[in-house]
């Protein structure tokens, strides 16, 4: 019956879940993130009994433990973002291009560095 002795259990269960989630996520605040426009947002702390909620591109504090965005999930957003992968790939390609160019300049007979290496000047050739 409504208002009977068992009517407080759903509320108590919800409260218990909220307290347990706050203990588990107590040290987890919202980490820095990049929104859909590419703007950087610094990390921030949430108040007691609130959690970091949201998505990879928008974060906020909320009281609903079912919307909790854990620190692991937040880090996963950063590790596999397309911009991060593109930046790493372009840096690797640039590095390989520079090393290849330098090696070719020392091995190609038409390059200035190759000619310098093959015909060093001696002090007597003044």
* Confidence band of 58 (pLDDT split at 50, 70, 90): very high
Give yes or no for residue 26 having a pLDDT over 60.
no
* Confidence band of 5 (pLDDT split at 50, 70, 90): low
Buried/exposed 20-37: b ≥16 CB within 10 Å, e otherwise: ebbeebeebbbbebbeee
Give yes or no for residue 41 having a pLDDT over 50.
yes
* Both structure tokens of 64: 């609903």
Average pLDDT over residues 1-11: 50
Average pLDDT over residues 90-109: 88
> What pLDDT is recorded for position 22?
47
Single out the residue of 24, 78, 79, 80 nearest to residue 52, CA to CA: 24
Q: Residue 80 is inside which H or E element, if any? A: none
């Amino acid at each position: 019956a409504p208002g009977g002795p068992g009517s407080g259990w759903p509320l108590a269960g919800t409260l218990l879940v909220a307290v347990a989630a706050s203990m588990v996520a107590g040290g987890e605040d919202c980490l820095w993130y990049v929104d859909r426009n590419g703007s950087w947002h610094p990390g921030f702390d949430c108040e007691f009994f609130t959690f970091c909620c949201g998505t990879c591109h928008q974060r906020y504090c909320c009281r609903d433990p079912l919307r909790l965005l854990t620190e692991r999930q937040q880090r996963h957003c950063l590790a596999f973002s397309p911009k991060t992968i593109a930046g790493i790939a372009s840096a690797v390609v640039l590095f390989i291009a520079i090393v290849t160019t330098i090696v070719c300049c020392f091995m190609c007979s038409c390059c200035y560095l190759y000619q310098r290496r093959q015909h060093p000047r001696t002090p007597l050739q003044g």
